[in-house]
Structure 1
Amino acid sequence: MIYGAYGYTGELIAREAVAKGYRPVLAGRDAKKLQPLADELGLPAVAIGLDASETLEHTLRDIQVVIHCAGPFSATAEPMMRACLNTGTHYQDITGEMAVYRMAHGMHDQAESAGVVLCPGTGFDVIPTDCLAAALHKAIPSATHLALGFDSDSALSPGTAKTSIESLGVGGAVRRKGEIEIIGHGELTRQINFGRGEKFAVAIPWGDVATAYYTTGIPNIEVYIPMSPRRAKKLKRLNKFRWLLRMNWMQKWLKKKVDNSVRGPGEQARAEQKTWVWGEVRNDRRGERKIGRVVTANGYDVTVHGTLAVMAFLLNYEGPGGYFTPSKLCGSELVEKLPGSGAIEIGID
């Protein structure tokens, strides 16, 4: 079942699933938005809200895997996860929200007992960086520091834009000595060659601050994206207003602006945009350092193909339940198998 199938990314996943010969059940809250897509694709549809827990669980009893695409995941992930635990249904989603990864990790024992896989983040958030983190950790198993990042020209989808808005009132995030630490926006910067020349980069509160730790156990983790120094200075100024950006009315206002103005990239734009993923792993005590890179397709195409690859894996899965990162579930080679992706390259650079 694809829940949130009429959203930008949910629709892309639904269309590609049909192209691959699958016949998923399409689901979501809004029947008026859902039914036209179901009719066009010739698929069954179920309009259901996540607050209707009994009806949701009744629907899930015949479903083997849920692909959850309806954000904001900070509000929607938990009720869907709990419904899946109660019905023996494997759960995956396309979130990039750190809080969701931490919540799913905290539900590991329940999922293990239920024989259910919880694998949030089966899209661009966080398949490429998670797989690269796993490969880098294999290169230096004693690593104490991990930095990850990516460089892309891709435009934001509405869902990703809203996730970014939620982080504005919180700040940046890194992991230090095994614990997540909130830092100011634009506070941590460095020069990085993501794969197409050295660029100024800024640390962001990306999901790998949580997931890469679950994958590797490395206690110090940072994630970067390229940004102009001028834009980084503007971002830093937002720190004075984080209290305001956390207010519910401000969040609603900013997200409404997204609804009115942000549209996901078209097919041609996605086809022309690659993503350069970079990572650095270190053990300073031993003087060891290695760099890893992998080039992937556009982030939204990675999400579509990555999500369906994990879904196909779960349809034939006979292993234990529990919380998994994508690389822990499917192996670090998962990203290399996706259309448009190259091989992970590890070296000293």
Structure 2
Amino acid sequence: MNNKNIMIYGAYGYTGELIARQAVALGYRPILAGRNAQKLQPLAEALNLPAMAIDLGNTEVLERSLRDVYLVIHCAGPFSATAESMMRACLNTRTHYQDITGEISVYETAHRLDDEAKAKGVVLCPGAGFDVIPTDCLAAALHQALPSATHLALGFDSESSLSPGTAKTSIESLGMGGAIRRNGKIETIGHGQLTRTIDFGRGEKFAVAIPWGDISTAFHSTGIQNIEAYIPMSPARAKKLKRLNGFRWLLRTQWLQNWLKAKVSKSVRGPSEERRAGQKTWVWGEVRNDRRGERKVGRLTTANGYDVTVSGSLAIMQYLLDYQGEGGYFTPSKLCGYKLVEDLHGSGTIEIKPA
């Protein structure tokens, strides 16, 4: 067993705790960390692990705490507010960094830090969970199958319910609108503005474009200039979503954001182990080159999103524990190869066919 120090920050959150418990089951003894000592201590005692209460706003304490840490798995969202502080601290202490975010802004921040990470030999790998391992790996496989592709579309049909952290992140996106990539640039679009019919793997469904992380990451993994991401949604719900566009200014206000997040804290609980075990996810992707009339479609099934996040983040952790390569910003497929997703518990094989 590798004896390099691992820290799980945000360990008492729903997904952070799942990762911590599975890490222990695999024989690791990570340091548990987070902002709230009272929430952290019961888990540390239950798992017999060391714990550290650290406020990300206290740079001096954070960097001192990371000095002997080889790798951080950052699980404390919303990542738009926490990730950059942790990434910069990891760069200053030469600590490898991974997180479980799905937020486009975090990926773009990590990409901007690429040169500094290379200079310091530090790996920055945000998105080391369901956001975005399955879609990122499928995107890389599709690009290999059609290197001349100019357009990429990705999506997934999931049975998983939301954890509190994911629900709060979704609330943040309500005021921002959707996102696509056009001619290499990320563009904001209206909620519900872009729709199509997709067979994710269990029949055709009406689908709506969402601001999924691949709008950023798939571009860095493949270089494809035009990218969209979709989830299935009923036409009626899509119409309701579209009506929110007139109120995006209001949905961005701090008081409303705080009110909605407080409601989530009171009412949303992550799915039970039994419920997760019965859930699957169908992942779909399409590449095309319209000038050549070429198009290929790929599909993949995985476990539910939370189990993918646990197994995926720990697989990347294990990869980094023996890592001898250079530093820099990496997407999961760039770091570990697109077959990473196929090795995760509950995942099938990527299948690509002409369309």
Cα displacement string for residues 54-81 of structure 1 (whole angstroms, at most 9, x for unaligned residues)? 1111111111110000011101001100
2:184 is the counterpart of 1:178: yes
Q: Aligned with 2:119: secondary structure?
A: helix
Q: Aligned with 2:238: secondary structure?
A: helix
Question: Which residue of the partner structure matches residue 22 of structure 1?
Answer: 28
Distance 1:11 1:85 in 2: 25
Distance 1:4 1:293 in 2: 32
Question: Which residue of the partner structure matches residue 3 of structure 2?
Answer: none
Cα displacement string for residues 185-204 of structure 1 (whole angstroms, at most 9, x for unaligned residues)? 00000000000000000000
2:13 is the counterpart of 1:7: yes
Q: CA deviation at 1:51?
A: 1.1
Question: Which residue of the partner structure matches residue 215 of structure 1?
Answer: 221
Question: Which residue of the partner structure matches residue 100 of structure 1?
Answer: 106
Q: TM-score, normalised by structure 1?
A: 0.99
Distance 2:258 2:214 in 1: 26
Q: What is the correspondence of 1:118-137 to structure 2 with a 5 Å cutoff?
A: 118-137=124-143
Distance 2:350 2:113 in 1: 31
> Aligned letter for 2:237?
R
- What is the number of equivalent residue pairs in this alignment? 349
Q: Aligned with 1:225: secondary structure?
A: strand
Q: What is the correspondence of 1:329-348 to structure 2 with a 5 Å cutoff?
A: 329-348=335-354
2:285 is the counterpart of 1:279: yes
Cα displacement string for residues 290-319 of structure 1 (whole angstroms, at most 9, x for unaligned residues)? 000010000000000000000001111010
Q: Aligned with 2:181: secondary structure?
A: strand
Q: CA deviation at 1:165?
A: 0.6
Question: Which residue of the partner structure matches residue 239 of structure 1?
Answer: 245
Q: CA deviation at 1:158?
A: 0.7
Cα displacement string for residues 208-238 of structure 1 (whole angstroms, at most 9, x for unaligned residues)? 0000000000000000000000000000000
Distance 1:256 1:59 in 2: 30
Distance 2:288 2:164 in 1: 36
Distance 1:225 1:51 in 2: 35
> Aligned letter for 1:241?
F
For residue 68 of structure 2, the aligned residue among 62, 67, 76 is 62
Q: Aligned with 2:346: secondary structure?
A: coil
Question: Which residue of the partner structure matches residue 317 of structure 1?
Answer: 323
Question: Which residue of the partner structure matches residue 207 of structure 2?
Answer: 201
Cα displacement string for residues 251-290 of structure 1 (whole angstroms, at most 9, x for unaligned residues)? 1111111101111100011000000000000000000100
> Aligned letter for 1:8?
Y
> Aligned letter for 2:116?
Q
For residue 161 of structure 1, the aligned residue among 167, 183, 193 is 167
Distance 2:110 2:122 in 1: 12
Distance 1:79 1:227 in 2: 35
2:159 is the counterpart of 1:150: no
Q: Which runs of 5+ in 2 are unaligned?
A: 1-6
Q: CA deviation at 1:337?
A: 0.3
Question: Which residue of the partner structure matches residue 4 of structure 2?
Answer: none
2:147 is the counterpart of 1:141: yes
Distance 1:319 1:188 in 2: 40
For residue 37 of structure 1, the aligned residue among 26, 39, 43 is 43
Distance 1:292 1:108 in 2: 30
Question: Which residue of the partner structure matches residue 308 of structure 1?
Answer: 314
2:197 is the counterpart of 1:191: yes
Q: Aligned with 2:115: secondary structure?
A: helix
| Larger mean Cα displacement after TM superposition, 49-58 or 186-195 | 49-58
Q: CA deviation at 1:3?
A: 0.2
Q: Aligned with 1:241: secondary structure?
A: helix
Q: Which runs of 5+ in 1 are unaligned?
A: none
Distance 2:224 2:354 in 1: 19
RMSD between aligned residues: 0.5
Q: Aligned with 1:21: secondary structure?
A: coil
Distance 2:170 2:63 in 1: 31
